[in-house]
Amino acid sequence: MDIKVSENYLAQAVKLHRENPVVDAHLDLAGEVLLRKKAGEGQIIRNHYLQNFRTAGIRLVVSSVFVETGNLEQGWQNALDQIAALKQDLEGMEEVVLIESREDLKRLLRGDGIGILLYMEGLDCIDGDIDRIGELFRLGVRGASLTWSRPCALATGCCKAAEHRQIPGPLTQAGKRAVKKLEELSMFVDVSHLNDEGFDDLCRVAEKSFIATHSGSRRIFDSFRNLTDDQMQILSGQGGIMGMNGCQCIAGSLLGNHLEMLCRHIEYETERVGAEHVGYGFDLCDSYDQARAILRGEPHVSRNDCLSDHSQVPLVSAALLQRGMDGDDVKRIMGGNFLEYFRRALP
């Protein structure tokens, strides 16, 4: 049975979300915009996301550029198409802007707009051509994970979330060069989806702090998409943040105890590494899956997310408050930590 949040704590959470910026460190937004654009839709962010972002007080969204396995043959072009589609969707939107620098972020937070920060969920599409990272930077991309849950020319991903097996494989020499190039350009490195061997190699190569945009605790739910206690300690020790994942098969809430499991991840992570290294990285995929189904002319009835949409994000904060978490810690987790990280990491 899931947590029943009282009206009192929900009101407290709504007030926190109204008065403090909220960050979602992972959303497959660019890919969804391209899918819906191909299906004939326009103004996708305005029609599908803007009101929910406003309701939750979300001020910054880290949008992945994710190339599906079936598109890898034309992966580079698909990545470019996603970036172009997102930028086109932002045209004429004063409320939502692309964030490319520390100054952009400062300017955003002085007003009441919403920022989109682009990053690559896997660099599979560059096919080992490190110079392409510079091209992505010029297009406004400001971070990357080396791979998704699959092997590529740079690294090996962990298994897919629905599977449970260890996949070996170190960072390749190209992968190590990619890390250096990302750091040289002030592009953040994301370890979500990287396998354990690759994580260890990254720790030996990286000179700047890296993050896990959408990974939980493996102790709370035994998925290789989540971080071990040792990995959490290493990530936090070098100034990183881990964004709590809101996918049911990663949070471990397939029995319907969604808020319960999200809170357990956050509480355990806070206990182990401190509230200043925890954030929200919900990875809400249902809307993306719906867009893909519409384009293919297929029905879409499944629900894989712990939250129905971003308007429910205050429920997570309310549940944390109700379970005894300090309000200042909740403020850090719901946005303050990732904002502080990006203030340091952005060029």
Q: What is the pLDDT of residue 120?
A: 98
Tokens encoding 154: 């740079």
Residue 300 has pLDDT above 90, yes or no: no
Q: Which amino acid is at 188?
A: F
Q: What is the pLDDT of residue 160?
A: 87
Please, which pLDDT band fits residue 271 given cuts at 50, 70 and 90? very high
Please, which pLDDT band fits residue 162 given cuts at 50, 70 and 90? confident
3-state secondary structure of 139: coil
Please, which pLDDT band fits residue 302 given cuts at 50, 70 and 90? confident
Please, which pLDDT band fits residue 242 given cuts at 50, 70 and 90? very high
Are the beta carbons of 152 and 122 closer than 8 angstroms? yes
Mean pLDDT, residues 221-226 taken together:
97
* CA dist., res. 292 & res. 290, Å (int): 5
Provide DSSP, 56-111.
HTEEEEEEEE---GGGGGGHHHHHHHHHHHHHHHHTT-SSEEE--SHHHHHHHHHT
* CA dist., res. 151 & res. 94, Å (int): 39
Q: What is the pLDDT of residue 157?
A: 96
Half-sphere exposure of 121 (CA within 13 A, CB side): 26
Q: What is the pLDDT of residue 318?
A: 98
Residue 275 has pLDDT above 80, yes or no: yes
Which residue do the tokens 């401190």 mark? Answer: 274
Tokens encoding 127: 């096919």
* CA dist., res. 141 & res. 137, Å (int): 5
Tokens encoding 111: 């007003």
For the beta carbon of residue 67, count every other beta carbon within 10 angstroms.
Answer: 24
Quote the crossing angle between the two packed helices 102-110 and 337-345, to the nearest 10°: 140
User: Which domains occur in the chain, in start order?
Assistant: 7-345 (3.20.20.140)
Please, which pLDDT band fits residue 234 given cuts at 50, 70 and 90? very high
Tokens encoding 229: 């206690």
Residue 135 has pLDDT above 90, yes or no: yes
